[in-house]
Amino acid sequence: MKYCSVCGSEVRVGVPAGDNRPRHICDQCGTIHYHNPKVVAGCIAHWEDKVLMCRRAIEPRLGLWTVPAGFMENGETTYEGAVRETLEEANARVAVDDLYVTVNLPHINQVYMLFRGRLLDLDFSPGEESLEVVLLGEDEMPWNEMAFPTVSEALRLYFADRAQGQYPVRMLDIVREGGVPGRYQVRRIS
């Protein structure tokens, strides 16, 4: 951040009084600009034993596979975000059951909240951000062509829990290993 989004003056980086972290500070209007993690809401939507998967039509990870998920919008709840993303990316209507997994990604300042959902009908099609939308069983999953480790790790947990017939709420930390892009360490918290 170079300029204040309130008044347009140049900002400086400093630790405000009573704080303990560097922030972008505007001395002109006094605004302290806080940058905090973003929440990604998404849905593991199933029909019988298959899960709704989207092949991405946009960067990053164009051509790779994901469950419907995206940044929350202001004014919506997490589960509303999951339902909206499923509609936007897959033109699919879904009833959300429960929160399934929270994934912490501290190296990119994101938190994923993926819900379990039921497809209400089979009338789905690629939205603007998807090349292809399909229902895939566990054996059909393109495990080597997943867009994000968040998605593959969440789906592996999901299928393992489904085999046990129950879905406890899960939490994962995925951190970049040694600061190397593309190498991750996955910690299962619950």
| Residue 1 vs 95, nearer CB to Zn ion | 1
| Residue 4 vs 83, nearer CB to Zn ion | 4
Q: Which two structure tokens, joined as six digits, stand for 137? A: 């069983």
Shortest Cβ 24–Zn ion spacing (Å):
10
Shortest Cβ 8–Zn ion spacing (Å):
7
Positions that interact with Zn ion (CB under 5 A): 4, 6-7, 9, 26, 28-29, 31
Shortest Cβ 4–Zn ion spacing (Å):
3
| Residue 9 vs 125, nearer CB to Zn ion | 9
| Residue 1 vs 7, nearer CB to Zn ion | 7
Shortest Cβ 12–Zn ion spacing (Å):
11
| Residue 31 vs 110, nearer CB to Zn ion | 31
Give one DSSP letter per residue of the chain, joined into a string.
Answer: --B-TTT-PBPEEE--TT--S-EEE-TTT--EE---PEEEEEEEEEETTEEEEEEESSSSSTT-EE-SEEEPPTT--HHHHHHHHHHHHH---EEEEEEEEEEEETTTTEEEEEEEEEES-S-----TTEEEEEEE-GGG--GGGBS-HHHHHHHHHHHHHHHHT----EEEEEEEGGG-TT-EEEEE--
What's the one-letter identity of residue 23? R
Shortest Cβ 11–Zn ion spacing (Å):
7
